[in-house]
Amino acid sequence: MQLPGTQAEIPHQARLGMACPHCGGPARIRTSRSLTRTYRQISFQCLDAACGHTFGAELTVTHTISPSARPNPDVQLRVAPPRKHAASANDQPCGPEVPPAAGQAG
């Protein structure tokens, strides 16, 4: 069992997609530090060498989607309600999309 507070690099296969807030280019994780079981601080570096932005982010576990078969009593998360399937009454097909007005072609 890994204790909170340990620091570890996230392996490359565990990529977290994040765009640079300045140039919009892809950014990669430089460091990732787990502070609690549900909270992690991450630093990103923009891959655009002309930008070079380095920035911090936070990752927080917010809720359970499917419950764990090995629940930890120290971890209390709200459970998201199950997704509702479209009711047949509301399952009406969308109407035909109206094409945009002509004249936009450049």
**Which residues contribute to the site for Zn ion (CB under 5 A)?**
20, 22-23, 25, 46, 48, 51, 53
> Residue 42, Cα to own-chain centre: how many angstroms?
12
Amino acid identity of 65?
A: I
Give the nearest distance from C-beta 59 to Zn ion in angstroms. Answer: 20
Q: Which is nearer to Zn ion, 42 or 46 (CB)?
A: 46
* Neighbour count for residue 44 (Cβ, 10 Å): 22
Q: Which is nearer to Zn ion, 25 or 37 (CB)?
A: 25
Give the nearest distance from C-beta 84 to Zn ion in angstroms. Answer: 39
Q: Which is nearer to Zn ion, 20 or 29 (CB)?
A: 20
Helices (H), 8-102: none
Give the nearest distance from C-beta 25 to Zn ion in angstroms. Answer: 5
Quote the DSSP letter at residue 7. Answer: B
Distance, CA of 56 to CA of 47 (rounded, Å): 15
